[in-house]
Structures are given as C-alpha cells and as structure tokens.
Amino acid sequence: MVWEQNVRVVVMVTALRHKDQVMCDKYWPLERGTAHHGDIQVTTVTRQQGPEYSITTINLRQGACPTASRSVSHFHFPCWPDRSVPADVASLVSFTELVRRELEAEPRLGPAVVHCSAGVGRSGAFVAFLWLLQLCVRGVPPDVRAAVEDLRLHRMGMVQNLDQYLLVHQCLLHWLRSGASARPQAQGAALNVTPRGSSGRGGHTGRRHQQQQPPPPQQQQQQPPRPRRQTAPGGRQPILNPGKLLRRLLPHSP
C-alpha cells in the first residue's frame, strides 16, 4: 500500500507490545539494517531517538523495480496506551507539530499513513488534532466537534471515547498557549475548543478563553497584522474544510 500510494510519511501512535499483547508487527528494522516483506525491501537508514518518540528514515525497494527506491519518514509515538490517552500532553503536541511541519515541507506525492492497532481511537484523535493544527496555521478557527464528525464520515469510530475527545481539546489549547508558530493567525478567532454541552466546571468554558485583556499599546504596535479569516460566500461562518487538507491524511471517497 505504501509503495502503491507513493506514501512518504508514516505516523505510528502505538507501541509494538502492551504487556503480553502484540499491538503491531515490527515492519521496519529498529536499528540500521534491512528487512524483506515479500518482494518489498525495507532498509532503516537513520534513526533519531527521543525520550518519548523516534523518527526513522526508511528506504523502500520493490522486487519488480530493483533500480527504483523511495525514502519514507517514519514517526513513532509509542507512549500512548490503547483506548486511553498519553500521560504527557506536551510531548504529543511536540510530536504532532513535527509531523505537521514534515507534511508542509514534503511535496504532495501521496497521502500520509496514520495507524495505531485498530486504527480508530488513537489514530482518530491524532488525525483530528493534526487537522486542526493545519487549519489554525491557515487562520481558520478550529471546531473539534465538527472535525471529529467529518472524520467519522470517512472512517467509522474515529476518536474512540470521551477521554480521547477531550485530549484533542487539551492538545489544541496547549499548542495555542505555547507560542507555536501559527498562533498569531488563530488567536484573533473565536475558538470553539470546549466540548459542546459541557457545564464548564472548574472554570474551563469557551467564553473564558475568549475573554482576554488587550495588550498594552506598546505591545499592540509590535504584533504582526492578523490575516483575514476564511469565510464562505455571503459572509457566512468560516469554512472548516479549506482546500484539500483532509485528503492528504485520508483516502478520498468518490
């Protein structure tokens, strides 16, 4: 599939094993070396290991095309338990930002592949958060509920439970507060990052995040101009689905 679809980015958000259960086969060499899967040759070229995740450059060759090879970037985040959420939101945010930058830098040769074990819970939460980051960078106000609903039209059961749904909100808020490169484009928008129907206990309500004191005049002069929000024709609400962002992550349904 990776060869056929000309995939250049693979994101894996599961460990190989959880206790005694196999969550995913080791389809690439963890260290430098070569593995064969049928007529596909998989070679690990470089590997960068961090505390929470790793990035591996993989070279692919196919038996039918011995002279043709392709380079694939493999992003692995193993610290995410099945049907649960990772303990450290900051590390997941950093990991997702690296993936987003890689997708922006790579030419659009083929779709990215995101997988865990079942391919719905952790994969859905990751894709939802990544998609919302891509929207924020383009100045589109993020709507978590609408994004998850749209993803479920493409694959049933994406974002498996309430904890994972809340995780998307937490990651998005952490990214916006951390001074990410795209924050100036999104901070002027009315962000809908609180689950609809929530009572807002603990003071975490959508309105509270919007009620920010204006900066002093000297700071206002230093801020870059805010880009225009993307709106639908006729002045309706901002468009959630600009361009073909989602098609870069999921197959397009005819």
The catalytic site residues sit at 116
Residue that is written with structure tokens 């693979």 in the block:
10
Residue pair 10/74 in contact by the 8 Å Cβ criterion: yes
C-alpha distances out from residue 180 to 93, 97, 183, Å: 10, 9, 5
Closest residue by Cα to residue 208 from 199, 217, 219: 199
Residue pair 201/242 in contact by the 8 Å Cβ criterion: no
72's enclosing H/E stretch is strand 65-76
C-alpha distances out from residue 140 to 67, 210, 216, Å: 43, 16, 26
Strands 65-76 and 9-12: parallel
